[in-house]
Amino acid sequence: MSTPVLDDIDRRIVVATQDGLELVREPYRAVARRVGIDEAEVRRRLAAMQARGVIRRIGAVPNHYALGYLANGMTVWDVPDDRVRELGRRLGGLGFVSHCYHRPRHLPDWPFNLFAMVHGRDRATVQGHVAGMAALMEDVERGHRVLYSTRILKKTGLRLAA
Amino acid sequence: MTAESTRSAPSDVDLDGPDRALVNLLQGGFPLSERPFAEVGWEVGLGEDEVIARLARLLDAGVLSRFGPMYNAEKLGGGLTLAAMRVPADDFERVARQVNAFPEVAHNYARDDDFNMWFVLATEEPGRVARAIAEIEEATGIEVFDMPKIEEFFVGLRFEA
């Protein structure tokens, strides 16, 4: 796996923006002042980090509960390893799936190797989506579960030390 | 540390048309220009200062949980994994406190399954993940199942406001 290294200035930009951008007319100038470089360089470096995938995107993250998406189900599937990529791409292409990953099994306790997060306004909606996903799996799926979140115990996100 | 319950999370906050337009547009991206709020305002028919004021309100009200660059933990060169535990109901609050006390634990969710505690470990140093898992097992006395991603098929979803 490639791990592009951040140079010292990139790292200072990450630290200055990991809690969010300042809500001022020139937010990148505010970052530039904190980092001690000019405004255009902040924008150039942010664009470069985005091109390298270090930044997924710049924008807003809604609290999906506040928007009325109250049911949040982690669906987990046991599918043959040689089909997991094809099925993962299929599930990931569905409009109501926010994340989709291949993860390791832990036999015999945990047989599931494909994870897809499904969001809906209520559990009935999520159940409907899950039925559709099961149909997409044809006959290769050997079992699945839906784990609804009942409480957020902690949510701080990744933090680099300043 | 936040210990927010999904029940007490804000829901059905009143959003007017321009608020919804902003939430929907800004999930797709934010310009890398000198006056990005003016550009956003041009798109949704609001002035620059009005965009800034509305965003401040949406963040305060908890409609938006973050505004800015979303960093990809792995590409930053650190360690990242999803881990799960089967915690006996009577021990749940104690174990939640012990797990949350680790600064490497970025998110932690209770889920309704016998695998009832799911947390993300994000570390600056890749090798730290395995040590943090061992320390959590030692602190709690409960086995931690490490489920790092093998392959990612999709990340991203736009919630219609």
A80, A120: one domain: yes
Q: What is the pLDDT of residue A33?
A: 98
B35, B90: one domain: no
In a domain, A154, yes or no: no
User: In B, which residues are within 8 Å of A110 by CB distance?
Assistant: 84, 115, 145, 147
- What residues of chain B, 16 to 45, have a C-beta less than 8 Å from chain A? 22-23, 26-30, 32-38
Report the amino acid identity of residue B66. R
B86, B139: one domain: yes
Task: Work out the minimum CA distance from A4 to partner chain B, whole angstroms.
Answer: 7
In a domain, A39, yes or no: yes
In a domain, A40, yes or no: yes
In a domain, B154, yes or no: no
Q: Which of A62, A70, A160 sits opposite B23 (nearest CB)?
A: A62
Q: What is the pLDDT of residue A161?
A: 66
In a domain, A60, yes or no: no
Task: Work out the minimum CA distance from B123 to partner chain A, whole angstroms.
Answer: 8
A22, A86: one domain: no
Per-residue pLDDT of chain A (162 residues; tens, 9 = 90+): 444 568 999 999 999 998 899 999 999 999 999 999 999 999 999 999 999 999 999 999 888 888 888 899 999 999 999 999 999 999 999 989 989 999 999 999 999 999 999 999 999 999 999 999 999 987 899 999 999 999 989 887 666 665
Count how many domains chain B has: 2
B54, B86: one domain: no
* Per-residue pLDDT tens digits for B48-95: 999 999 999 999 998 998 899 998 877 888 899 999 999 999 999 999
B84, B139: one domain: yes
Last residue in a domain, options B29, B60, B91 = B60
In a domain, A62, yes or no: no
Count how many domains chain A has: 2
In a domain, B155, yes or no: no
B55, B90: one domain: no
Burial of B146-158, coded b for 16+ CB within 10 Å and e otherwise, reads: ebebeeebbbebe
A100, A47: one domain: no
Which of A76, A134, A130 shows the shortest CA–CA distance to A106?
A76
A15, A81: one domain: no
Domain that holds residue B107: 79-146
In a domain, A34, yes or no: yes
B23, B50: one domain: yes
Whether B140 has its CB under 8 Å from any CB of chain A: the answer is: no
User: In B, which residues are within 8 Å of A31 by CB distance?
Assistant: none
In a domain, B46, yes or no: yes
Q: What is the pLDDT of residue A1?
A: 46
Supply the CATH number for residue B129's domain.
3.30.70.3460
Q: What is the pTM for the complete model shown? A: 0.81
Contacts for B123-129: CB closer than 8 Å, 24+ residues apart: B123/B78, B123/B79, B123/B80, B124/A160, B124/A161, B124/B76, B124/B77, B124/B78, B124/B79, B125/B78, B125/B79, B126/B77, B126/B78, B126/B79, B127/B79, B128/B79, B128/B104, B129/B79, B129/B80, B129/B81, B129/B104
In a domain, B108, yes or no: yes
In a domain, A138, yes or no: yes
In a domain, A90, yes or no: yes
Beta-carbon separation of A97 and B157 below 8 A: yes
Beta-carbon separation of A154 and B111 below 8 A: no
User: In A, which residues are within 8 Å of B107 by CB distance?
Assistant: 152, 154-157
Domain that holds residue A96: 71-148
Supply the CATH number for residue A142's domain.
3.30.70.3460
* Per-residue pLDDT tens digits for B86-101: 999 999 999 999 999 9
